[in-house]
Amino acid sequence: DVKVTQSSRYLVKRTGEKVFLECVQDMDHENMFWYRQDPGLGLRLIYFSYDVKMKEKGDIPEGYSVSREKKERFSLILESASTNQTSMYLCASSGPENQPQHFGDGTRLSIL
Amino acid sequence: QKEVEQDPGPLSVPEGAIVSLNCTYSNSAFQYFMWYRQYSRKGPELLMYTYSSGNKEDGRFTAQVDKSSKYISLFIRDSQPSDSATYLCAMSAIGANNLFFGTGTRLTVIP
């Protein structure tokens, strides 16, 4: 079974802090994704990566950056956290084109 | 107009009922269709994965795709309280890595 592990289930940070969310997958997948999930808005893609050191902006990249130094690890960075970034963050990975995405259990992030 | 539309519900049914969950879409390039189940405070879990039109059955679950109508469905037979979750549809075009998601339908199966 594919295992996508997100480092924290719950996280509370202060406005202005730099926040790191970590994600690791164990299936040697090329593609990795970061989403945020908000009530009524569904899943929105923040960034994705199709290879080490490669990244592409999704639908809502503003205020976020990502890092992929190793194939199995994809990090989401909130450069200066703001209250409107309070959300559920989901990481996913997938194999080559059109393979389904597999998700971690999410990080519920609160920015105070 | 969103690319994928899904009735958010909520939907409540008695145990044993047949459940029908649906999504419509506008992009005729979509060829791969998925259903995910998401329990409260967990990530989405892949339930069904189909290509192009037709039906696919897995136990109590049947996924149906009608590309001519741009309409996909998930049927759950003999629904159980453990089926209570949010169900998300997702789809992609050939050669694409990105998925387009519906907003999810929240289902409650009442014992």
Over residues B42-65, the pLDDT tens digits come to 999 999 999 988 899 999 999 999
Burial class of residue B106 in the structure, from the number of CB atoms within 10 Å of its CB (0-12 exposed, 13-18 middle, 19+ buried): middle
Q: Are A68 and A1 in contact (CB under 8 A)?
A: no
Average pLDDT of chain B? 94
Query: At CB < 8 A and 24+ separation, what contacts does A39-46 make?
Result: A40/B8, A40/B103, A41/B103, A42/B88, A42/B101, A42/B102, A42/B103, A42/B104, A43/A90, A43/B44, A43/B88, A43/B101, A45/B98, A46/A76
How far is Cα A4 from Cα A1, in angstroms, rounded to an integer?
Answer: 10
Residues in B whose CB is inside 8 Å of some CB of A read 8, 31-32, 34, 36, 41-46, 49, 88, 90, 92, 94-99, 101-104
Local structure of B51: helix, strand or coil: strand
Residue to mutate among A88, A98, A102, A107, with most B CBs inside 10 A, is A98
User: What's the pLDDT at B110?
Assistant: 97
- Nearest neighbour of B97 by CB, restricted to A31, A42, A105: A31
B92-104 pLDDT per residue, tens? 998 888 899 999 9
Q: Which residues of chain A have pLDDT under 70?
A: 2
Interface check A25 vs B, CB under 8 A: no
Q: Which of A1-5, B11-15, B25-29, B83-87 has the lowest mean pLDDT?
A: A1-5
Task: Indicate the pLDDT class of residue B2, thresholds 50, 70 and 90.
Answer: confident
Q: Which residue has the higher pLDDT, B26 or A2?
A: B26
Residues of A (48-67) whose Cβ lies below 8 Å from B: 48, 50, 58
A43–B43 C-beta distance less than 8 A:
no
Contact residues, chain A, for B46 at CB < 8 Å: 100-102
Interface check A104 vs B, CB under 8 A: yes
CA distances from B92 to A40, B1, B28 (A): 21, 17, 10
User: What's the pLDDT at B54?
Assistant: 86
User: What's the pLDDT at A11?
Assistant: 96
Could you tell me how many CB contacts below 8 A there are between chain A and chain B? 52
A48–B42 C-beta distance less than 8 A:
no
Q: Are A86 and A79 in contact (CB under 8 A)?
A: no
User: What's the pLDDT at B96?
Assistant: 82
User: What's the pLDDT at A77?
Assistant: 98
User: What's the pLDDT at A97?
Assistant: 78
B45–A98 C-beta distance less than 8 A:
no
CA angle (B2 as vertex; B92, A95 as ends), nearest 5: 20
How far is Cα A32 from Cα A104, in angstroms, rounded to an integer?
Answer: 11
Task: Compute CA B111 distance to the chain's CA centroid, rounded to the nearest angstrom.
Answer: 22
How far is Cα A108 from Cα A28, in angstroms, rounded to an integer?
Answer: 26
